[in-house]
Amino acid sequence: MELTHRPRRLRRTGPVRSLIRETELCPQHLIYPIFVTKGEHVRDPINTMPGQFRLSIDEVVQECEILLKLGVGAVNLFGYSPEKDETGKFAWDTEGLIPRCVRALKVVHPEVCVQTDVALDPYTTHGHDGLVFGGEIVNDETVEALCQMALCHAEAGADWIAPSDMMDGRVGAIREALDANGFANTGILAYSAKYASCFYGPFRGALGSAPKSDAAPKDKKTYQMDPANVREALKEVALDIEEGADVVMVKPALAYLDVIRAVREEFDVPVAAYNVSGEYAMVCAAAEKGWVEKDRALLEILFSIRRAGADMILSYFAKDAATLLREQYGKFA
Ligand code: PBG
C-alpha cells in the first residue's frame, strides 16, 4: 500500500514521541490547595479525600518545604473553622487561622506564592459563600464583608487573594480596597467562571461547609453558574478582567475543558483551572478498586487541562504529579 501520510512514523519510539510532544506539564504549573486547622502537629485525614489532610499551621509550613523541593511553589489556603455564625465574622479575624498561617509561612518560606480563599462558606452557619438576609444570598453586603476578609489576608502577607464566592462586582471592590490600603502589589486570582457543580462534594465534607440551613437555599445556583453555559463564562471573565483580576479561573476543570479553551482563545490574561475535590476523589476511588491506574490517570487529567489552555492548575494531585514528573524528567515516554 502506498500511503502519502503515515502519522504513525512519528509515534515509533520514545525519543521521536518526545520531539513532537505538544504540551508541557511541570511541577511549576501546579498550585496545591491546603486545608488549615487549629492545633499543633495535627494531620487530620479527610475521609472524602484519601491522602489529603487538614493540617495545623506548623504542618503547613513543613508541607511547603516538601512542595518547594518538588518544584511546586504555590499553595492555596482554606480555613477549617468550627467557629461559624450568621455574619461570617471569623473570616476577617486578624488572629484567625488563615492570617496566622500566612504570617508563619512568610517567615519561613517568603518565596512561596501564598494564595488565600476569599468566601464566607467555611465561616457561616448556613454554609453559603455570602450573607443571607430573608432567605436570599445578598450581593452588595457580602462584597463589603469579602473586602474585609481580603484586607485581613493581604495584611498578613498573602501574595494573591482568591475570591471564590461569585458575587457581582467583588473583584473591583477588592481591588479598590487593596489599593486604598497600600496593597497595590497583592494580586487577585478570580474564580471567574465557577459552576454550580456536584464535584465540590468532598471539599464541603472536608470543611463542613455544605449549605445546610432551612432559612436559606440548599444549593448555590443563584450565584454559581449553570453547567450548561459557556457564553456566560466569557462574560464573567470579561467583567473580572475589567475589574482588575490578574488571573482568571475556570472551575471545575474536567467537565469544563471547553470553557478553559474558550477563555484561553478569547483573552490574553493568565488562565487557571481548578481540578476540584470530586475529580480527585473519583480517581482515588476507581484506583482503590483497581479499575484505573492512579498515576497514569492523574497525569493524563493534568495534561488534558494544560492542553485545553490552562497556564496553572490547582490540584490535590500536585504532590503526586510533581513526584512522578520529577521521576520521569529527562526520560523518553
Ligand atoms: C467555596 C469553595 C468551594 C471550593 C473552593 N471554594 C466549594 C463550594 O463552592 O461550595 C471547591 C473546591 C473543591 O471542590 O476542591 N467558596
133 part of a folded domain:
yes
pLDDT for 208? 87
Cβ(276) – ligand 1 distance below 6 Å: yes
Q: Which residues contact 224 (CB under 8 A, 6 or more apart)?
A: 166, 194, 195, 196, 197
Cβ(121) – ligand 1 distance below 6 Å: yes
pLDDT for 159? 98
Q: Phi and psi dihedrals of 283, rounded to 5? A: -65, -45
Which ligand 1 atom is the nearest neighbour of the CA of 165? 16
First and final C-alpha spacing in the chain: 29
pLDDT tens per residue, range 32-78: 999 999 999 999 999 999 999 999 999 999 999 999 999 999 999 99
87 part of a folded domain:
yes
Cell of 87: 455574619
CATH code at 276? 3.20.20.70
269 part of a folded domain:
yes
Please give the model's pTM, rounded to 2 decimal places. Answer: 0.97
pLDDT for 215? 83
Q: Which of 38, 84, 89, 194 is catalytic?
A: 194
Which ligand 1 atom is the nearest neighbour of the CA of 280? 15
pLDDT for 173? 98
* DSSP notation for 168-211: TTHHHHHHHHHHHTT-TT-EEEEEEEEB--GGGHHHHHHHT-S-
Domain containing 41 equals 23-332
CA 308/CA 263 separation, integer angstroms: 10
12 part of a folded domain:
no
Nearest to 208 by CA among 15, 48, 56: 48
150 part of a folded domain:
yes
Section 240-265 average pLDDT: 98
272 part of a folded domain:
yes
194 catalytic? Reply is yes
Ligand 1 atom 3: residue of nearest CA? 200
Which residue is listed with cell 468566601? 119
pLDDT tens per residue, range 189-222: 999 999 999 999 999 989 988 998 888 899 999 9
Q: Which of 200, 251, 284 to mutate to test the pocket of ligand 1 (most atoms within 8 A of CB)?
A: 200
4 part of a folded domain:
no
DSSP SS3 for 257: helix
Section 77-88 average pLDDT: 95
Cβ(203) – ligand 1 distance below 6 Å: yes
Domains in the chain: how many in total?
1
Q: What stretch of H or E contains 302? A: helix 294-308
Ligand 1 atom 5: residue of nearest CA? 164
Grade residue 115 by pLDDT with cuts at 50, 70 and 90: very high
45 part of a folded domain:
yes
C-alpha radius of gyration, the chain, whole number: 20
Cβ(119) – ligand 1 distance below 6 Å: yes
pLDDT tens per residue, range 141-163: 999 999 999 999 999 999 999 99
Q: Are 63 and 55 in contact (CB under 8 A)?
A: yes
